[in-house]
Amino acid sequence: MFLMKIINNLYNGTSVKYTLLEAIAYLIIIVFALTIHEYGHAFVAFRCGDSTAKNAGRLSLNPLAHIDITGMLLFLIAGFGYAKPVPINPSNFKNYRKGITAVSLAGVICNIFLGLLSLLLLFLYFTFLTRFTLFSNSFGLFLYDLIYYGVYINFILALFNLLPIYPLDGFRVLDVYLPYGNKFSQFMYRYGNRVLLGLIIFSIVAERLSSYSMIFSYLNIFNWFYALINQLIALIPIM
């Protein structure tokens, strides 16, 4: 994943300076995307009547309140990680079902908004900024990396979190509308973490095997996400 990309770049002769700038851009966007995602959960929970996250110091735009070190390391090693889950108490919601739905989708909506904003910036970058000499140097490349990762990381976070697998947001939205005690929810509460871990590991292995056969590329769920994001990028006239 990203760590392997950095190693490959250095091995193939990419300058240390550019590689370092790209790594910094990648980390900045991850921290920003995760912070806004978790803040979105906390903010909407507070608006729905639950102050649990606020009392825990999570209604904050300070990255230190949300970032998990292990989750960040996984982003570097495996290409996907996590932040600290926002604590909520659904019994405090003014409307339980609407509250769960709104809080669960808040982070996803935040990432979609940031992804769309990054698409707009990508359009502006290629349409206007590349005309200026100032943006043809290392600063311009760094700015491009920030926008590029702003598009991909935010949309991947949004799409991944919409999967109906516990403990992701997509599952929580689905679960609140399913009959109480249904077999799917019971299975997910018991095995969801293993299913999620298995899906990530399977996708990483499939990516490694894709050089032997294209069929493995189709088995990598992240490739499906990339394909969808590439279609979104293709909709804007950036060249």
Q: Which tokens go with 184?
A: 């799917």
Residue 38 annotated in active site: yes
Residue 50 — φ and ψ, nearest 5°? -110, 120
CB 134 within 8 A of CB 144: no
Measured between alpha carbons, how far is 69 from 55 in angstroms, rounded to an integer? 22
CB 154 within 8 A of CB 114: yes
Alpha-carbon dihedral sign for residues 126, 19, 161, 35 = negative
Residue 67 — φ and ψ, nearest 5°? -75, 135
Q: If residue 108 lies in a helix (H) or strand (E), which one and from where to where?
A: helix 96-127
Q: Choose, from 21, 26, 33, 38, the residue flagged as catalytic.
A: 38
Q: Which residues are catalytic?
A: 38
